[in-house]
Each structure stands twice: as C-alpha cells, then as structure tokens.
Amino acid sequence: MYTSVPRPILWLVPGGDHRVLDVGGYRSGEVVEIEPFYLSKLPVSNEQFEAFDPAFDRAPESPEDRDPAVGVTWEEAVEYCRWYAALSRKPMRLPTELEWEYACTGGEEGVAQPTPDQVEALAWHRANTADRLPSLEAKEPNSFGLYGLLGGLWEWTLVESAESRGVLRGGSWREAPEILRPSLRAEAELSGPDWTGFRVAKPFRS
C-alpha cells in the first residue's frame, strides 16, 4: 500500500553549524549544531495530501496534482505527518523551526539577507506572478537542493520549546520581494492565513 501512495521526495540536509537568525527559544546570533535530517524537497502537493484527505478542497490558484496543497491548517499538517509515519513506519514529522531556517539558508550565512537577484532566482512573489502560483521547480533550488523555501507559501514548523504550537516560515507568493528572507516568521493563529502549506521531515538516524 505504501508504495502506491503519492509521497513526498525526502532530501538529505547535511548537518552543520547554524548561526540563528530568528527562532523561538534561541538568541539571535547563537551558533547551534544541526544534526543531519531529511526534508521534502518541495511542500506536500495536492495529490499527496488527498491520499490522506480525499475531501481536501484545492485552491484555484494552485489546482494541479503536483501543485502545493495550500490553505492547510496546523492540525491538518500534523495529522498528515502522523498518518504518513504510520503508513511508512518511519518517524515522519514537521521540521522544527530551527531545522527549517537552517535548510532555508542552504548552510550559507551570506543568504541571511538575500540580494534582490537571489530572491528573484529562488522565489515567487507578488512582483513576478499573476493570478496563480507557478511551479516552484521553475525557480532555482537552494544550496541544499530544496525548492521554494522563500515565497511560494507559508510553511508550518514545530516550535522546539512547545511542540503543540506551530510557527509559519518563509512568506508566500503574495508577499513583497523585499521582505523575503530566511528569518521571516509569523506566529499566526493555528488556522493560518490562506497561503499555508508544509513539508515533511524525518530524522537522519531513525
């Protein structure tokens, strides 16, 4: 059954030192060692999410099978990870906020405040899109081979100090390009704004 279900492609994010930008429970500038972990190279798609929830209502701006599932609540994202963990018999979960921020930087401190050219190469935002979200793979991947961590859609993450509560990271294609950076975060209501989605993470040693 597991192999017949559309599932996210998990990408190995190598471990390394990360200088914290803006993560709950950490000091800005604190250097933290990140253990290797797996993260889906794209947000969970419509067809992947519908394997879990066949009644999911696709957004008209992101309607195709491989388009990101958007408008996903915190509870839905957590429940999908639990469902996928049971299906795969592996410890799937949301990425922590710290893991997400490290993955977004690609392990490069210099992208803490990306240049306009970097944003344009990596992200969809309100200045370069029309009335729908284009394919995230039409932009360049970051240094870790991950697509769409900036722009695209807000992504749910776990807060390590209180995992019952989620924080959104990365912005969406509705944002102005000048605000898109790895430190962008929003402590939203758990329903989130309309443009919310998520990725799946898995510990390297499991």
Instruction: Render 122-188 in DSSP notation, one character per residue.
Output: H---TTS--SSPPPGGGSPP-TTS---SSSSSEEEEE-TT-TTSEEEES--TTS-GGG-STT-EE--
Give alpha helix (H) positions in the chain: 46-52, 74-88, 97-105, 116-122
CATH number of residue 102's parent domain: 3.90.1580.10
Q: What is the reported pLDDT for 151?
A: 94
71 token code pair: 């408008």
Which one, of 27, 22, 7, 17, lies nearest residue 202 by Cα? Answer: 7
78 token code pair: 């957590």
- The helix (H) or strand (E) run that includes residue 34 is strand 31-34
Q: What is the reported pLDDT for 131?
A: 85
Structurally, the chain folds into a number of domains equal to 1
Q: What is the reported pLDDT for 165?
A: 66
Using CA atoms, how far residue 139 sits from 7, 125, 176, 189, in Å, is: 21, 11, 17, 30
Query: By residue range, what is the domain housing residue 118?
Result: 2-203
Q: What is the reported pLDDT for 129?
A: 93
Q: What's the rounded Cα separation, in Å, for the pair 127 and 191?
A: 26
Q: What's the rounded Cα separation, in Å, for the pair 76 and 79?
A: 5
Show pLDDT as tens, one digit a residue, over the chain (206 residues). Answer: 666 789 899 999 999 999 999 998 899 999 999 999 999 999 999 999 999 999 999 999 999 999 999 999 999 999 999 999 999 999 999 999 999 999 999 988 767 889 999 999 999 999 999 889 999 999 999 999 999 999 999 999 987 655 446 799 999 999 999 999 999 998 766 555 678 999 999 999 86
Q: What is the reported pLDDT for 19?
A: 93
The position carrying tokens 């950076």 is 181
The position carrying tokens 């405040």 is 113
Q: What is the reported pLDDT for 24?
A: 84
- Looking at the chain, how many residues does it have? 206
Q: What is the reported pLDDT for 161?
A: 55
Q: What is the reported pLDDT for 190?
A: 54
